[in-house]
Amino acid sequence: MTSLARYTTLGLGGPARRLVTAATDADLIAAVRAADGAGEPVLILGGGSNLVVADEGFPGTVIRVGTRGLRYGRDADGCTEVTVAAGEEWDDVVAATVVEGLAGLECLSGIPGRAGATPIQNVGAYGQEVAETITTVRVLDRRGGKIMDIPNERCGFAYRTSSFKRGPGRFVVLAVTFRLVRQALSRPVRYPDLAAELRVAPGEQVTAAQAREAVLKVRARKGMVIDPADPDTRSAGSFFMNPVLGAEEFAAVEAVAKERGLLPVPRFEAGGGLVKVPAAWLIERSGFGRGYSNGGAARVSSKHTLALVNPGGATTAQLLALATEIRDGVRAAFGVGLEPEPVLVGVAL
């Protein structure tokens, strides 16, 4: 049996009963159908950057997606469709589209993992998310055995989720098609931290290459670009999602913050009268600063409080004990529940 710790960015996870690598769509489909036919549990594994796997491992077949391919369609109305195999490294895809003179993915630079995971999580960062540019997702529907092209409007995209995530396991992503704008300039810069790095006002544009370079710098400072020499990057990225609050919920947070002299509370409009509050702000002001440890080997990153890291020697149980303490601490301090962003395999929070 093979330890899954070798295949996750956290370096955590017990053994898989069986591990299969699929280099082509045909291999991937055949492996899924064979496991389904045998009644075995199946775990689809890409880059392992968004997985928290139990110390006990996975009692079934783990299928590593190793498919490759990036194809540009014809230009039309100033846009180009780009179809990407699920197994392509995501940052390589972003880099290639920027070099090609296409805008729409540049602010998603530096995110680890494979392209097939991006629609599942509706991956987003620094004011962009893939839901804005995806046109179709090609999938294997394990329920009916058919290969389907699902258009954007049927993907159920929302903040860090989709119909693929809400119906876990039913669909296996084979390829993703994006519609990108053919232009030298980036999309308007929306995120304040990125605008500050670029020394422009929010809403302004720079070249897509400049935006990509700035994003990589900002992410690296936060330990969010994989570096084997840096234990702060041995994480699953942001462990908690930013909570989206209604008016009354946000008012309650502000009341607590006022009592403690913590105003103003940072907020971002989320539409429909809702606001998004940075989870990192809540975590830090609930007593969990950078580098925090509860005595186990897992700890909070010394660069960013949203990342929980395994600097070496941690177990999944220790990581989840830390995550539980943080979640409960934020709830006690502000009355806000935090939800984990990574996929939990064989464990729960």
Q: CB of 267 within 8 A of CB of 275?
A: yes
- The b/e string for 285-310 (b: 16+ C-beta within 10 A; e otherwise) is bbebebebeeebebbbbbbbbbbbbb
Distances (CA, A) of 34 to 87, 171, 202: 20, 15, 51
User: CA torsion angle for 97, 99, 101, 103 (degrees, to 10)?
Assistant: 40
- The pair of structure tokens assigned to 334 is 């502000």
> What is the end-to-end Cα distance of the chain in Å, rounded?
26
Q: Which of 235, 238, 286, 301 is catalytic?
A: 238
Any catalytic annotation for residue 114? no
Any catalytic annotation for residue 238? yes
Q: Which of 17, 68, 160, 290 is catalytic?
A: 160
Closest Cα partner for 240 from 329, 136, 140? 329
Any catalytic annotation for residue 81? no
Reported in sequence order, the residue ranges of the chain that DSSP labels E, i.e. its strands, are 2-3, 15-22, 42-45, 51-53, 58-65, 70-76, 79-85, 102-103, 124-125, 128-129, 134-141, 146-151, 171-182, 244-245, 268-271, 274-276, 299-300, 308-309, 343-345
Contacts of 217 (CB under 8 A, 6+ apart): 197
Closest Cα partner for 165 from 115, 122, 112, 113? 122
Q: What is the DSSP letter of 161?
A: B
Closest Cα partner for 274 from 306, 251, 240, 241? 251
- The pair of structure tokens assigned to 134 is 């995806």
Distances (CA, A) of 247 to 110, 240, 250, 273, 294: 34, 21, 5, 7, 34
- The pair of structure tokens assigned to 236 is 């699953």
Other CB atoms within 10 Å distance of the CB of residue 247: 10
Active site residues: 160, 238, 341
